[in-house]
Structure 1
Amino acid sequence: MGGWKMEVTKMAIYMAFPVTLFHLFNQPELFEGWVTQVRRELYPPENKMHREEIQECIRKMREKDDKKLLQLLEEEKKKHLV
């Protein structure tokens, strides 16, 4: 077997190898373009026309729900008056 110098050398290699690989393969420049592309695919920039269509749809749905609720309230009111 080797002496303590060999054991210290082996331990240094065991510790330096993964740290070095981590440093080499986790450079932001290596995957920055890929991350940007995926982010744009998942969350495209907001289009003003799409936003207006969504707001209009929400408004129509709320109006529809309000009309339905008013109708139900009037029916209940008629039931209590009779």
Structure 2
Amino acid sequence: MGVKLEVFRMMLYLTFPVTMFWISNQPEYFEEYIVKRKRELYPPEKDEEKKLLQLAREEARQKKENLYMQD
């Protein structure tokens, strides 16, 4: 009975980590969660926000150029 028990324990010790690795590398299980989380962190840009951001960048660049021109 000792050998059978040891074989069972060894199979269990090997099967569990391999199974967990296989499950954690299946994109179907996590794709919905990841897409949802990504949309929360980086929402799609709206045209108005994009234009305002572009204007702010341009103003900052012009201020920076003016400072360098004055020196």
Q: Which bin holds the TM-score, normalised by the shorter protein? A: 0.5 to 0.7
User: Within 5 A, what are the aligned runs for 1:1-82?
Assistant: 2=2, 4-20=3-19, 22=20, 25-26=23-24, 27-72=26-71
- TM-score with structure 2 setting the length: 0.67
Q: Which runs of 5+ in 2 are unaligned?
A: none
Partners of 2:66 and 2:23 in 1: CA distance: 60
Runs of 4+ in 1 over 6 A off after TM superposition: none
Q: Which runs of 5+ in 1 are unaligned?
A: 73-82
Which residue identity lines up with residue 29 of structure 2 in the other structure?
L
Root-mean-square deviation (CA, aligned residues, Å) is 2.5
Partners of 2:55 and 2:15 in 1: CA distance: 60
- TM-score with structure 1 setting the length: 0.61
Query: 1:77 is matched with which residue?
Result: none
Give the share of equivalent positions with the same residue, in percent: 39
